[in-house]
Amino acid sequence: MKFHSATLETCQTATGIVLVIDVLRAFSNAAYAFSRGAKEIILVSTVEEALTLKSQIPKSKAMGEVNGIPPEGFDFGNSPTQIMDLDLNGLTLIQRTGAGTQGAVRSKNAEIMLAASFVVAAATVKYVSRLNPDEVTLVITGGENNDEDIACAEYLETLFKGQNGNPNPFIKRVYDSRDAIQHLDPKQPEFPESDLDYCTRIDEFDFAMPISRENNQLIMRAVNN
């Protein structure tokens, strides 16, 4: 299997199977939302899109962030710590973030697309491996010098290659990443340190998170392997 890497700036050219990675925190948070009963998650690019869909879809809530903070009108932010206290049974969530959902929206030429993070790593690899692909593109949504998504991409590659090595060095890279700094700062309670723990619980869930295009919307659902 051949692996390609893409960024938010280049993912629009990615074809075939595309894994969009966001460890801190969008696609970790999405997995926790599914674990709390969310029915589906619609991925959008803008705050305005999220609020419009929220007003149109019964039993829906807006979830996500701008610069890490939930915008006005959003019901939830981007924190697994917060999500773990919620009952989301049967809800449709509309998610907008600055990295993860942007990668999904921009990967317009993907034939098969999944959201990926450490908490669903093995399930994601199992789902994709069943398709027996020759190539996979890994979209690194984190910005320059941000290592946690690169670490996840490299970890996924080891799983695809059947190398079940020690995950601890990959987890350490998350804690050492640029985006982790604010979670380690007690003066920024909107970025709880506990999120780092939640986002590095490798294989916390046994479902993958494929993203389908339906009625001009990107809809993500949890699919058990």
pLDDT tens figures, 162-201? 998 799 999 999 999 999 999 999 999 999 999 999 999 9
Helix (H) / strand (E) element for 48: namely helix 47-56
Q: What is the pLDDT of residue 164?
A: 80
The residue whose two tokens read 């926790």 is 32
- Which residue's structure tokens are 């990443």? 177
pLDDT cut 90: percent of the chain above it: 96
Q: Write the pLDDT tens digit of every residue in 137-161.
A: 999 998 776 799 999 999 999 999 9
Confidence at residue 225, expressed as pLDDT on a 0 to 100 scale:
82
Encoding tokens for residue 138?
């890994």
Q: What is the pLDDT of residue 160?
A: 97
CA pair distance 184, 198, nearest whole angstrom: 14
pLDDT, mean over the chain = 96
- Strand pairing partners for 112? 17
> What's this model's pTM, rounded to 2 decimal places?
0.97
Per-residue model confidence (pLDDT) at position 183: 96
Render pLDDT for 67-123 as a digit per residue (tens, 0 to 9).
999 999 999 999 999 999 999 999 999 999 999 999 999 999 999 999 999 999 999
Going by pLDDT thresholds of 50, 70 and 90, the confidence category of residue 203 is very high
Average pLDDT of the segment spanning 211-222 = 97
For residue 48, count other CB atoms closer than 10 A to its CB.
12
Which pLDDT does position 41 carry in this prediction?
A: 98
Give Cβ neighbours of residue 107 (< 8 Å, ≥ 6 apart). 6, 11, 12, 14, 18, 20, 113, 139
Query: Residue 25, preceding bond cis, omega within 30 degrees?
Result: yes
Domains of the chain plus CATH, in order, are 2-224 (3.90.1560.10)
Closest C-alpha among 199, 223, 29 to residue 112: 223
Whether residue 159 contacts residue 165, with contact meaning beta carbons closer than 8 Å, is answered with no
Predicted local distance difference test score (pLDDT) of residue 165:
78
The pLDDT score that the predictor gives to residue 143 is 75
Average pLDDT over residues 26-52: 98
